[in-house]
Amino acid sequence: MNSIYFDHNATTVLDSRVLARMLPWLEMQTGNPTSRHIYGRSARDAIEDARGQVAEACGAYASQVIFTSCGTEANNFAVKGITANRPKMQILSSKIEHPCVTRPALAMQALGSVSRQIAVNANGQLDLAQLTEQLNIPTSLVSVMLANNETGVIQDLASVAELARTAGAFAHTDAVQALGKIKLNFTDLNVNAMTISSHKIHGPQGAAALILDKRLDIQPLLHGGGQERGLRSGTENIAAIVGFGAACELAATNTQSFITHTLALREQLERGLAQMKVTIFGGQEARLSNTSFFAIGGIEGETLVMALDRKNFAVASGSACSSDSSEPSHVLLAMGVDADVARGAVRVSFGEQNTSKEVAEFLATLQDEILRLKQLTAMAA
Amino acid sequence: MAYSDKVLDHYENPRNVGTLDKNDPNVGTGMVGAPACGDVMKLMIKVNDAGIIEDAKFKTYGCGSAIASSSLVTEWLKGKTVDEAYAIKNSAIAEELALPPVKIHCSVLAEDAIKAAVADIKAKQLAKASA
Amino acid sequence: MSATIEMPVVKDTFNADGHAHDAQPIYLDYSATTPVDPRVAAKMIPYITEHFGNPASRSHPYGWTAEKAVENAREEVAKLVGADPREIVWTSGATESNNLAIKGAANFYSGKGKHIITVATEHKAVIDAVRELERQGFEATYLQPEPNGLLDLTKFKAAIRPDTVLASVMFVNNEIGVIQDITAIGNICRENGIIFHVDAAQATGKVDIDLEVLPVDLMSFCAHKTYGPKGIGALYVRRKPRIRIEAQMHGGGHERGMRSGTLATHQIVGMGEAFRIAREEMHEENKRITHLRDKLLHGLETMEEVYVNGDLEHRVPHNLNISFNYVEGESLIMAVKGIAVSSGSACTSASLEPSYVLRALGRSDELAHSSIRFSIGRFTTEEDVDYTIKLMRSKIDKLRDLSPLWEMFKDGIDLSKVQWASH
């Protein structure tokens, strides 16, 4: 495929250095990490090395890292597991959360909890006043994502965590999009639990982690052989975990160069966009340096994405997980964006391999496509 | 489970495996533990008239640490007086073999085996004296 | 064909053990996990390098290629077990499949009743999922198997109550390899309107599975016991008559809402390829493995005081579980470092408790402790078996020379009558 890939917030290509570390475990691996013979023990050692690398990359202790199969599982584990062992109270999240936080929160309503979502302002920032007010009601958990997958807007998590703690609630953050893109430190964020995932940082799919304050009494999602200190049963996916560890090591060392590189590309992109009557969502806020989410008046996003695809540009019209549906982005609706404008949204998310030349080509193609689509629409009208 | 080099050495090359004549009035036997607990230790000591342990033999059904603990104490016992033997503490065994916490009970069993063997020889000596 | 494939090796160094195989113990722990077949690995690797898309991305070819690969793999998995691809739901492994099936079905049908029947020798993932449901207000019956490991159907029938909603029985036991009569149990469930779940993690590639005719509603699979990668499994959910389950992981609504979460395309591809190979080669492979297992059995059963655990007839040929009396289990494991085997299930090896499966068969603690599970597979050779027999015989002799119990047994003392000093 010769496509130019601008969809790094959906998933990323596996780094060849990560693959090199995984290959022994993919091709020659034998050994269940729970077994006591040498095969099992070397698998166990590999997992513990990876645990250290993951901890290092997100400012946590190795003993706080619980491996899961994906970010969705880690978020479900956090939301259901933390609230299951507390008195049934309110669960707070935000209106821009990924469904794998809000849906388990809704599922907990069947067991007596109440799920509420805090609003965001027009720039995509959480309404802290509303959070403060809601926290007057007894709350078991506050889950707010650190960086939004669509807009890239970064939340003031330290304040969220502080408000939650003061109110006696636990705080969880979905930091899947933040890992490797900003300096991430679990201890400094002051939250009780944090989700990170491998395949967003050039690691393999099949591994993620919940970083967890060990003092929390959490209910496992999966029961069985008692792996991961009894908190996540199931034979460990060694190859993916080793890859996750290697990807974390690379991401931690490359964060600054990633920011510098992608920021330059985005500035180039947004300078070009400025001449095309576009709205950039969350553009006024602290955002991930690699993300630009914009809409072009009068053009449907899905149509534009398909048109760009024919020209070999892989971009997204929303988050991959919801691109099954043609519903406008729930994130943009929460920001008060008109549904028609929201449908026209296109997300570009850069990676380190993208170049300035690619951005220039993209801008030229975009201009052509906009012109063509507008003519089509005009003819239809 | 990681074993220390000393445990591995005693396990691979156990010292003084075997039995002494249990009917010998100078031989004391201590058998402690139970199969259901996963370890049984049999320790035999031969004591001369001066009260010095001349020989010690063992047989152990148990994990590597249990085998190593009993093998080690047979080495320690030779040349000691019965009272010195009685004073051996499990902590010394555990320390010498670098036993992890989960295996401390093996050193306790070895200490119990010594005490049982000493009690047996003392009972025999008492019987001999009163006879 | 399989004879030309070499056993993949772990590169790590290994402390010399003073025998011919000091660098690399012989792997006889296929029931804990199998090595990835090199053909499976070869098929997977392009999907982590070139075709790395998120299968849920519908807007560009990266996503489409991934989705197509996922669907091909789903077909392969379905084919091995006689299912419709639409009945296969991907999961992260058998533990998740078992949790999803049991909690998902029990929660969905809890209005029909709150009693569950399972077996004491099930995998921990089944037992613990049922225990969790008990905490939520369900009641459970844990049936004891017969001493040969098989379920007595009259006892199963007797356990059924009007409010029994779900039964979960494993196809092939992970520790002793016995095969339950799934057809008969399933028919009883059908007659009584009970949803029937089967953990088939240890069955794929070893026994024929045809869900077209098997009266089973939910069946768990995983890849890493059948020469596929770890971290991927599947749950079969019957469509006719349709079985419903409540999702346990919520989110993007992947897998028709039954299991959300980004799926690892290369792992799914690996599972598909592993199951394809299993379908094509299992009958030939089983003949070879049966021959090896019989050889191992004959080499060991001629020793004194050895006991085979579990029925030998209703059993997969890959498994041989033997207790060596008067030898303690952990020292036995230390003694046989030249081979990689399990004492009890790998998932519980970290604990010092004797195998609960062997206890459920009525074995004494001592015999349960002194058991070894030899599990053989695709890359096991005649030489491996010869070496294993020689090693076992010499090490058992050595440990018995050390054992006061063996000495007493040889002296004709009845150990059950001995008054043991408590400690």
Which residues in chain C are closer than 8 Å to B112, comparing Cβ atoms? 421, 423
Q: Return the DSSP state at C200.
A: -
Contact C365 B14 (CB under 8 A): no
Q: Note whether A197 and A320 are within 8 A (CB).
A: no
What's the pLDDT at A8? Answer: 94
Of C10, C41, C56, the CB nearest to A39: C10
Summarize the confidence of residues A273-295 as an average pLDDT. 91
Q: C327 contacts in B (CB within 8 Å)?
A: 61
**Contacting C residues, span 102-131, partner chain A, CB-CB under 8 Å:** 123-126, 128-129, 131
Question: Residue A94: beta bridge partners?
Answer: A118
Please indicate if any CB of chain A lies within 8 Å of the CB of C41: yes
Q: With an 8 Å Cβ cutoff, are A239 and C229 in contact?
A: yes
Contact criterion met (CB < 8 Å) for B31 and C421: yes
- The one-letter code for the residue type at A48 is E
Is the ipTM higher than 0.85? The answer is yes
Cβ of B35 within 8 Å of Cβ of C421? The answer is: no
Do A235 and A270 lie in one domain? The reply is no
Per the CB < 8 A criterion, the answer to whether C395 and B15 are in contact is no
Q: Are residues A26 and A90 in the same domain?
A: yes
Among candidates C365, C406, C421 on the partner chain, residue whose Cβ is nearest the Cβ of B32: C421
Cβ-proximal residues to C194 (8 Å cutoff; 6+ apart), any chain: C117, C160, C164, C165, C166, C167, C188
Spell out which residues of chain C touch residue A3, defining contact as CB-CB under 8 Å: 60-62
Residues C66 and C62: their CA atoms lie apart, in Å, by: 7
Identity of residue C54: N
Q: Which of B5, B37, B59 to mutate to test the interface with C (most CBs of C within 10 A)?
A: B59
- Residue C202 is encoded by which pair of tokens? 């240890």
Give mean pLDDT, residues A344-351. Answer: 91
Look at residue B126 in the predicted model and tell me its pLDDT. Answer: 87
My answer on whether A90 and A232 are in the same domain is: yes
Active site residues of B: 37, 106
List residues in chain B touching C: CB distance below 8 A. Answer: 1, 3, 11-12, 14, 17, 19, 31-42, 59-64, 66-67, 102, 108-109, 112, 116
Pick A32's closest partner by Cβ from C8, C32, C58.
Answer: C32
Note the pLDDT tens digit of each residue in B84-124.
Answer: 999 999 999 999 999 987 788 899 999 999 999 999 999 99
Q: What angle do CA C192, C197, C200 make, to 5 degrees?
A: 140
E-state strands within A61-109: 65-68, 90-94
Q: Residue C281 corresponds to which amino acid?
A: E
Q: Do B11 and C334 touch (CB under 8 A)?
A: yes
Query: Checking DSSP bridges between strand A291-296 and strand A278-280, what pairing results, if any?
Result: antiparallel
Residue C296: phi, psi to the nearest 5?
-65, -45
Instruction: Give pLDDT, residue C241.
Output: 92
| Chain C residues with beta carbon closer than 8 angstroms to that of A76 | 248-251, 260
Q: Which residues of A91-110 are buried (b: 16+ CB within 10 A; e: fewer)?
A: bbbbbbbbbbbbbbbbbbee
Q: End of a domain among A198, A225, A250?
A: A250
**C65–A34 C-beta distance less than 8 A:** no
User: Same domain for A259 and A216?
Assistant: no
Do A108 and A225 share a domain, yes or no? yes
CB C124 within 8 A of CB A233: yes
| CATH code assigned at A76 | 3.40.640.10
Rounded Cα distance, B4 and C15, in Å = 13
Q: H helices within C374-415, ranges in order?
A: 382-402, 404-410
| Ranges in chain C, pLDDT < 70 | 1-23, 51-60, 344-353, 421-423
Distance from CA of B5 to the nearest CA of C (A): 11
Q: pLDDT value at position C420?
A: 79
CATH code of the domain containing A371: 3.90.1150.10
- Across C223-375, the runs of DSSP E, i.e. the strands, are 233-237, 306-308, 319-324, 339-340, 371-375
Q: Are A187 and A307 within one domain?
A: no
For residues A305 and C341, what is the distance between their CA atoms, to the nearest angstrom? 54
In C313-352, the residues whose Cβ lies within 8 Å of chain A are 333, 337, 340-342, 345-350
Residues in chain C with CB shorter than 8 Å from the CB of B90 are: none
A242/A273 same-domain check: no
Residues A42, A148, single domain; the answer is yes
Helix (H) or strand (E) holding A334: helix A330-334
Q: Which of A6-20, A26-40, C13-27, C366-380 has the lowest mean pLDDT?
A: C13-27
**pLDDT (tens digit, 9 = 90+) per residue, A48-94?**
999 999 999 999 999 999 999 999 999 999 999 999 988 889 999 99
Same domain, A112 and A224: yes
User: What's the pLDDT score for residue C56?
Assistant: 62
Cα four-point dihedral sign C28, C33, C35, C37:
positive
Cross-chain residue pair B38–C369, CB shorter than 8 Å: yes
Under 8 Å CB pairs connecting chains B and C tally to 80
| The residue type at C213 | V
Q: What's the mean pLDDT in A137-145?
A: 96
C338, with CB counted inside 10 A (0-12, 13-18, 19+), is buried
What percent of chain A stands above pLDDT 70? 95
- The values of phi and psi at residue C97, to 5°, are -60, -45
- Whole domain around residue A270: which residue ranges? 4-11+255-380
All residues at 6 or more sequence positions from A371 whose CB lies less than 8 Å from its CB, including other chains: none
Of A193, A225, A250, the residue that ends a domain is A250
Q: Please give the pLDDT value at position C23.
A: 59
Predicted pLDDT of residue B121 = 94
- Overall average pLDDT of the B3-11 stretch: 91
Count: domains in chain A: 2
Rounded CA-CA distance B44/B18 in Å is 9
Distances (CA, A) of A230 to A225, A271, C53, C160: 8, 52, 33, 32
Find chain C residues with C-beta within 8 A of A316's C-beta. 57, 59
Q: Do A233 and A353 sit in the same domain of this protein?
A: no
Q: Is the pLDDT of residue A355 over 70?
A: yes
Round to whole Å and give the CA distance between A330 and A343.
10
pLDDT the model gives residue A101: 95
Separation in Å, CA B67 to CA B54, C143, C393:
21, 38, 20
Cβ pair C312, C177 in contact under 8 A: no
Residue at which a domain ends, from A200, A229, A250? A250
Structural tokens at position A123? 């720039």
Give A-chain residues touching C341 at CB under 8 angstroms: 37
Query: With contact defined as beta carbons under 8 Å apart, do A10 and A199 qualify?
Result: no
Residues of chain C in contact with residue B41, where contact means CB-CB under 8 angstroms, are 404
Interface of C with B (CB under 8 A): 18, 326-331, 334, 352, 364-366, 369, 401-407, 415, 420-423
With beta carbons under 8 A apart, name residues in chain A contacting C260.
Answer: 72, 76, 99-100, 103
Burial A257-282 (b: 16+ CB within 10 A, else e): ebbebbeebbeebeebbeeeebbbbb
What are φ and ψ of residue A366, in 5° steps? -60, -45
Please indicate, yes or no, whether residues A45 and A108 belong to a single structural domain of this protein.
yes
Question: C343 CA to chain B: closest CA distance, Å?
Answer: 13
Neighbours of chain C (3+ CB pairs under 8 A): A, B
Instruction: In whole angstroms, give the CA distance from residue A205 to residue C52.
Output: 9
Rounded to the nearest angstrom, the minimum Cα separation between C327 and chain B is 6
Instruction: Name chain A's partners: 3 or more CB pairs within 8 A.
Output: C
Here the tokens at position A74 are: 């880690």
Q: Does the distance separating the beta carbons of A12 and C59 come in below 8 Å?
A: no
Minimum-distance CB partner of C405 among B11, B35, B116? B35
Q: What are B86's two structure tokens?
A: 């009685």
Dist. CA A362–CA A346, nearest whole Å:
13
Nearest CA in chain C to A97: C251
pLDDT digits (tens, 9 = 90+) for A157-174: 999 999 999 999 999 999
| Amino acid symbol at A149 | N
Which position has the token pair 């959360």? Answer: A97
> Which of C62, C135, C225, C249 should we substitute to test contact with A (largest number of A Cβ atoms within 10 Å)?
C249
Q: Is the dihedral of CA A280, A281, A287, A289 positive or negative?
A: negative
Q: How far apart are CA A211 and CA A209, in angstroms?
A: 6
Check whether residue A208 and residue A266 sit in a common domain.
no
Just list the catalytic residues of A: 321
Q: Specify whether the backbone of B33 is left (phi greater than 0), alpha (psi in -120 to 50) or beta.
A: left
Neighbours of chain B (3+ CB pairs under 8 A): C
Contact of A29 with C89, CB cutoff 8 Å: no
Instruction: Give the distance between the most distant pair of CA atoms in chain C.
Output: 79
Q: Residue A214's pLDDT is what?
A: 84
Which segments of C174-233 does DSSP mark as H helices, in order?
Answer: 182-191
Q: Residue A91: what residue type?
A: I
